[in-house]
Amino acid sequence: MGGFNKTNLQYKGSMKNNEMRCADALVVLLEKNGVKHVFGHPGEQILPFYDALRTSKVQHVLMRHEQGAAHAADGYARSSGSMGVCLATAGPGALNLTMGVATAYKDSVPLLVITGDVPRKLRGKNVFQDINTCKVLEPITLQTFDAKNPEEAINGLKIAFKIFENGLTGPIHLNLPKDVLEEPVDLTSIEEDLKEDVMENFNVMFPDEKAVSACVADAFELLESSKRPLILAGAGVIWAGAVSSLRNFAEKHGIPVATTYPARGVMPEDHPLCLGMMGTRGTEASNFAGKNCDTLLALGCRLSERTLHGIGKGKVIHVNTDDSVLKGDLNIHGNVSEFLEASSTLKIHDTDEWISRILEHPKDYPVQTDQNDVPLKPQRAVKEIMDASYDLNASGNLIMVNDAGTHTTWVTLLKKVKEPGTLLFSGGFGPMGYGVPAAVGAAFANPHKTVVVVVGDGGFQMTLQELATISQHNLKVVICIINNSSLGIIKQWQKLHYEGLYEVELENPDFLEIAKAYRIDSERVDSPGEVFKAVKRGFKEMPHLIEVIVDAEEGIPLPEVIK
């Protein structure tokens, strides 16, 4: 089994017939748990793991930077609803993952983060590439497992899968010293179930079923007395596999649904009961409902400060598998899917009058996109990208990936999301450079779909090296660079709150020449109507890069803070 060769010079001990190398055992466990792709960049201390991957069914995708590997695994997870996996070596490799790991942590994306480390006898002795990776990643992971022997490595990986199976989402880190990877393990350890004492030693906490049942009964009583109920759906609905259950629940009881940013699409945004996003960028209808409901059922969300802008004084029932984020009047530390499944006998007051009041307020954003100006307005450019993608979007064959910057706002305001996992973005952390590598992950997770990336000229240059990955694998990706030759949103803030512009103007390279160097077809447009045509052309010759020159002085509408 695996790729271990007993004559391997890196392993000095003997190997019994009922044993295999730890690295091989870990890869076998990945296969057994349905992992098909991992995203990474090799280095010396993780090489035994790579050697095991070489002869496995798991496909490794070579990224050009470890940050790209983490973002790709993130995009893979968000677009598929399954866990993403990223790999890196010790020291600089592991630390380069931190941006992507933090992004996944802030948005509760299930990510398995595997890092190599220097051999145990050298750790803490300030040798080459030695650093306490676990201490670095601890604040941005659900759990970090520092394997001190092969058994701990195997148990750590099993626990990671157990955590994800029980509905907790976010990054889980497994740190693997090189000598641990090379040591033998008993084959039976792969098949054995986790023991209770092992779970306790790793400090894994799951919801108490009895406590959850008691809280659910109280929640149903509160909902049945409500006359103005509202559901606020978070991305936890997606990770719980509860999208269909949520839609059935809302339709059965006639309860309107608002969403957080990461949950857009859990109810199609053209559905009569879907009010759109709530909070600082929320729709007027959604925020009116949030301010005036008497009972808010918050499912699988964090209730972040941006979402709380849209919430009033109604009673909040908060359901989440992560008890650290619960902040309602009635908190349920449990699984969203199980909560909805238990609601079959629930009886809700008629909500027709309540919904009519809500729908007096618009669900669409008032954005003008019919300008024929030159320089081209960015909102017009983004609208043309949407229009050119309409047929693919309608047929469920489009995934749009956002980055961070002014273009993000225009995509947020103009995009209608029909299904979860079809608009990807780095919401809670917002790093520039997310878009291109996340598109790689989305393309591998959805090989029959087309991925459109909308990215600013600043963000694009953070991770443009992943064009090599896109080109190498001939991925179905169209990249639209919205080029305003500046860090647009920072420029706007400087204009509003400071005395002048400073270090926000970009002297950009020739993006078409860069695309050419990576053997990717490209073109440049700068006029109304041309963006639509370019995107249509791009769909016929993917991968494709389009540079869109837009008005450098056009800012974004500032969100109104609801009082």
For residue 3, what pLDDT is reported? Answer: 40
How far apart CA 171 and CA 21 sit, in angstroms, is 26
For residue 323, what pLDDT is reported? Answer: 87
- The H or E element that residue 143 is part of is strand 143-146
- Choose among 171, 69, 60: nearest CA to 113: 171
Residue 543: asked if its preceding bond is cis (omega within 30°), the reply is: yes
Under DSSP, the state recorded for 282 is: -
**CATH class of the domain comprising 209-358:** alpha beta
Q: What is the pTM of this model?
A: 0.93
CA 390 to chain CA mean position, Å: 23
For residue 193, what pLDDT is reported? Answer: 82
Query: pLDDT per position in the chain (563 positions), as tens?
Result: 344 343 333 344 557 778 899 999 999 999 999 999 999 999 999 999 999 999 999 999 999 999 999 999 999 999 999 999 999 999 999 999 999 999 999 999 999 999 999 999 998 888 998 899 999 999 999 999 999 999 999 999 999 999 998 888 999 999 999 999 999 998 888 888 877 666 666 666 677 776 677 789 899 999 999 999 999 999 999 999 999 999 999 999 999 999 999 999 999 999 999 999 999 889 999 999 999 999 999 999 999 998 999 999 999 999 999 888 999 999 999 989 999 999 888 999 999 999 999 999 999 988 989 999 899 999 999 999 999 999 999 999 999 999 999 999 999 999 999 999 999 998 889 999 999 999 999 999 999 999 999 999 999 999 999 999 999 999 999 999 999 999 888 999 898 899 889 999 999 999 999 999 999 999 999 999 999 999 999 999 999 999 999 999 998 887 754 33
> Are the C-beta atoms of residues 379 and 482 closer than 8 Å to each other?
no
For residue 562, what pLDDT is reported? Answer: 36
For residue 288, what pLDDT is reported? Answer: 97
How far apart CA 539 and CA 393 sit, in angstroms, is 13
Fold of 378-549: Rossmann fold (3.40.50)
Q: What would the 3-class secondary structure string for 387-425 be?
A: HHCHHHHHCCCEEEEECCCHHHHHHHHHCCCCCCCCEEC
User: DSSP letter string over 419-473?
Assistant: STTSEE--TTT--TT-HHHHHHHHHHH-TTSEEEEEEEHHHHTTSGGGHHHHHHT
Structural domain boundaries of the chain? 19-201, 209-358, 378-549
User: DSSP letter string over 4-28?
Assistant: --TT-TT--S---TTEEEHHHHHHH
CA distance from start to end of the chain: 63
Radius of gyration of the chain (CA): 25
Q: How many residues does the chain have?
A: 563
**CATH class of the domain comprising 19-201:** alpha beta
Q: Does 19-201 match 378-549 in CATH topology?
A: yes
